[in-house]
Chain A
Amino acid sequence: MINNTDAVRLIDSKRDDSVIVPTMNANNVGFGLPSVSTNQSLDLPLSGAMGKASNLGLGIALAQPDRKVMVLDGDGSLLMNLGAMVTSANKAPTNFYHFLFNNKVYAVTGGQPIPGSECQDWEGMAKAAGYAAVFSYDNLEDFTTGIDEVLAATGPVFVHLAIEPQVENTPVQFRPRAQRTVKMAFDEVPAALGVGSD
């Protein structure tokens, strides 16, 4: 399996001018994208509206067709909104890259198993939903070797990643809070995209 931080660091290292939409553990303040991002001005984290990260990314991808959009999703999160896979594939933006961080648990609520965690076929679901290309990695070496092929593929692309669970057991009120809130990100990203500057 792949360490959560290693996965986000590798994706971030290949981002160029991509927008990244991280949620759940991929957005963890201590070991997610906020801890490694090299271009926070183009990070659009989603910590509410669980399950909607890929919808948010789809909207950006449609609005900004010349720029890659990378969604870093969670398995429990995507399960809340499975139809979103069909919605994305149906609209078929070529610049849309959907990474699924599959750790098989609700890590931010104490590590309870997600429903059906041992029997899901995420690659099969992505192919059936209509993604143009589907990849899967269960170790960092292969992911490191393969990520250039992933990002060279024409979207919509789905990438299944087998991630080591990193479970949060600290009471919510004692966890470190994000310095950059979702609202702050929504206020900042348009300028980074050059929206409204003409």
Chain B
Amino acid sequence: MTTYESVLHPPAIIAELKKNNITHVVWLPDSETNFMYQLLNEEDSLDLVPVCREGETMAIAAGLWVGGKKPVVLIQNTGIFESGDSIRGLGLDINQPLVMLIGYRGWTRRGPTPDSAARYIEPILHTWGINCYLIETDDDADRISIACEEAERTQKPVGVLVGTEFGV
């Protein structure tokens, strides 16, 4: 299968998570991040915690964090919409330094963005005061490190929007 340099590959994400000593990935699969599953399962240093609904992820992450671990959540932007009360009560209100990797469904760099999931996500994150970074290629992956540093420094959730489906 052809591999293209200008796309985002799962190993680049995994390497960033390992570099930042992430211990758990709390997630619900989506089309932007589905190719990570096999690699995440094979990576001994990362424990995968699957959920049934996205609002569970911030609560599980809060428990992991208070228990001394360093989780991230990995969900789609539609899941962020579902997770509002968890982000409020178990992210912002308790100062959880949580990096949220968010599949950016509907994102288009050029031309109109017809998918409301894409049009609403950044304004909603900004309304909560949650800063976010966009990653589209392997060259952008180090923004995960920036997000991790920012989350620790500000003791707040930080978003990383995954703007392209992963290459393989």
Contacts and interface: CB of A to CB of B under 8 A. Distances in A.
B94 A81 contact: no
B95 A56 contact: no
B167 interface: no
A46 B58 CA distance: 13
B68 A57 contact: no
A62 interface: yes
A83 B24 contact: no
Given A55-B56, A56-B60, A59-B61, A186 B88 contact: no
Contacts, number: 114
Contact of B67 (A52, A62, A86): A62
Contacts of B142: none
Q: DSSP class of A's interface residues: helix, strand, loop or mixed? A: helix
Interface string A18-60: 0001000000000000000000000010101111100111111
Contacts of B63: 21, 55-63
B18 interface: no
B35 interface: no
B43 interface: no
Nearest to A183: B94
B85 A50 contact: yes
Contact of B90 (A52, A90, A190, A193): A52
A182 B60 contact: no
Interface stretch (B46-54, B106-114, B123-131): B46-54
Nearest to B26: A59
Given A87-B51, A183-B94, 10 more contacts: A52-B90, A59-B62, A63-B64, A63-B65, A64-B68, A87-B50, A87-B56, A190-B68, A193-B66, A196-B68
Closest 6 A/B residue pairs (Cβ): A59-B63, A63-B67, A83-B52, A48-B89, A49-B89, A55-B59
21 contacts: A49-B58, A52-B58, A52-B59, A52-B89, A56-B62, A59-B26, A59-B60, A59-B62, A60-B64, A62-B49, A62-B64, A63-B63, A63-B64, A63-B66, A63-B68, A64-B67, A64-B68, A83-B53, A91-B49, A182-B94, A190-B67
